[in-house]
Amino acid sequence: MDQSPQTIPHASVVAAMDAALAAARLGVRGANPLVGAAIIAPDGTAITGHHAGAGTAHAEPTAIRAARSAGIDLTASTLCVTLEPCSHHGRTPPCTDLILETGIPEVVLASADPNPAAAGGAQRLREAGVRVTTGVREAQARALNARWLTAVGERRPFVTVKIAQSLDGRIAAADGTSQWITSAASRARVHTLRARADAVIVGTGTALADDPRLTARPAAEAAETSEAEITQPVPVVVGMRGLDPASHLAQDPRTIHLRTRDPRSALEDLKTRGLDHVLVEGGAQLAGALVRADLVDELELHIAPLLLGDGLTGLADLGITTLADGIRWVSDPVEPLSDSAPNPDTLLRLSPTPAPTKGS
């Protein structure tokens, strides 16, 4: 940790950083890391903010706006942030500019930003006379964004795999029927996921069997929002077979068809095209290949209260023959996919269990 002087007790800083980490968990995983911020007022109280996803205000301006609304004197406050403030122009202005404009005298950081395009904020603040302390709750901040950090390090998009299935893990009945295993609430959730992603990926088998559009469409209750107003993800097909020339995807000029069986090379290709978050919707072979290669950063299971017995599974063979080799996942809190339905689907959001550190 830097040996910079602090204006408030260290215990208060740690408590505020814990509050910032809790706020960060309210965000959306994807192209951007989960980031939270907490402003410690002169009386020791903390006000938090978080980044809600790509294109929205970052955690720092969200917390600053809340502090201003509460009448807090920012020139006598400390800002705690779980990730180094950005110093570049992206979808939003640099957070370092706003911090300097407010006159906040001290900033405490959990971890540095590994993204070269966004790094450098701490140094800029120091050069402007702001006291900067780093490393407070660093391990917790890095654990929070472990898979995002992995994707950045591997120079590939963050990968979300979505599977809609029955209680016994079937995505279709024995005769192939699958519409609809899950509910309207689940399908609305899928369109929300698509709108957040830069690209939606399917394998050639799914493309040929279902003729999907892979567009994000507004929910019926949001009829005032037209499809044209939604930022549409890029449709991507992975696989060696050709598309039906009359299909929706073949007719869409934006469709990218990657003729490869190597999931890593496909992801690296998409990263070079500026696609930072991809949503994989099928099929079983593609999803299984991604899991086998440890390329899935987030798994969304939409589970219907339904048993199908024989049927199609959502993941192809993972090559696992013994229990000890099973791939374990960590789940966010379980939640229903509808508050009003008598028998709602269940949503599970999971991340791979982090690999043990050396010596553990």
Residue among 60, 106, 298, 300 flagged as catalytic: 60
Q: Which of 288, 315, 297 is closest to 353 using CA atoms? A: 297
**Can 60 be counted among the known catalytic residues?**
yes
Catalytic residues: 60
